[in-house]
Amino acid sequence: MTEQEILALLQETGALLNGHFELRSGLHSNRFFQCANVLRYPRVAERLCAELVRRMQPELSAGRVDGVIAPALGGILVGHEVARALNVRSIFAEKQDGKLVMRRFTIQPGERYVVAEDVITRGGRVQETIDIVKAAGADVAAIAVLVDRSAGAARFDYPTCSLLHMAPQVWEPAACPLCAQGSKPVHPGS
Ligand SMILES: [Zn+2]
């Protein structure tokens, strides 16, 4: 899949909106991204994650993969579809008292996992998930991310593959060029 095809899918499914937005942070942007909107469509999610796995093949060919692990909630659907493409099991870590933990699955020492996530901005949840795998005596094969919004800031000790790099352009309201043109920002989703 080309970047154009991927962008088109994100726009068709309402995951990627172009316009003039006031974000929750109060900053303005010309784009709004809501990954859950593309994952609403299982066939599209399946296709995107199969492409992600295709791109990871060089990293994964070095050894077997026992499963995919994702941080809940955002990563679960991506983890599930990546696991389908790899034909391995899919598990997830969940928040408990503000920290990601394994609540309902067990990681065995010596196993090898792909860590999956929908979007990374700083990559904190992916790093927490890596730490969980390592603490169990297992290993990380690679990291699979649909959209990397970190602009290179999120770096991990393992090969990382994403479908799209998309650093958002944001402005303070007073410096927003769209406001300067007289347009009014909208709250995304409303
Ligand atoms: Zn503005």
pLDDT in tens, 74-104: 999 999 999 999 999 999 999 999 999 999 9
Number of residues written out for the chain? 190
In a domain, 177, yes or no: no
Residue 89 in any domain: the answer is yes
What's the pTM value of the predicted model, to 2 decimals? 0.91
pLDDT of residue 63 exceeding 90, the answer is no
22 located within any domain: no
List C-alpha distances in Å: 182 to 55, 169, 174, 178: 43, 18, 12, 7
**Percent of the chain surpassing pLDDT 90:** 84
Query: 20 CA to middle of ligand 1, Å?
Result: 6
What's 48's domain CATH number?
3.40.50.2020
Q: How far is the CA of 167 from the centre of ligand 1 (A)?
A: 18
Omega before residue 9 within 30° of 0, cis:
no
Q: What are the tens digits of pLDDT across the range 146-183?
A: 999 888 889 999 999 999 998 878 999 999 999 999 99
CA of 3 to the centre of ligand 1 (A): 27
Domain extent at residue 112: 43-167
Domain for residue 55, yes or no?
Answer: yes
Question: How many structural domains compose the chain?
Answer: 1
* Distance from residue 170's CA to the centre of ligand 1 (Å): 9
Backbone angles phi, psi at 71, to 5 degrees: -80, 130
User: Does some domain include residue 111?
Assistant: yes
The answer as to whether 145 is a domain residue is yes
In a domain, 12, yes or no: no
Ligand 1 centre and the CA of 174: distance in Å?
8
> Is 15 inside any structural domain?
no
> Residue 32 Cα, ligand 1 centroid: separation in angstroms?
13
Distance from the alpha carbon of residue 176 to the mean position of ligand 1, in angstroms: 5
Looking at every residue in the chain, the average pLDDT score rounds to: 94
Question: Mean per-residue pLDDT for 29-42?
Answer: 94
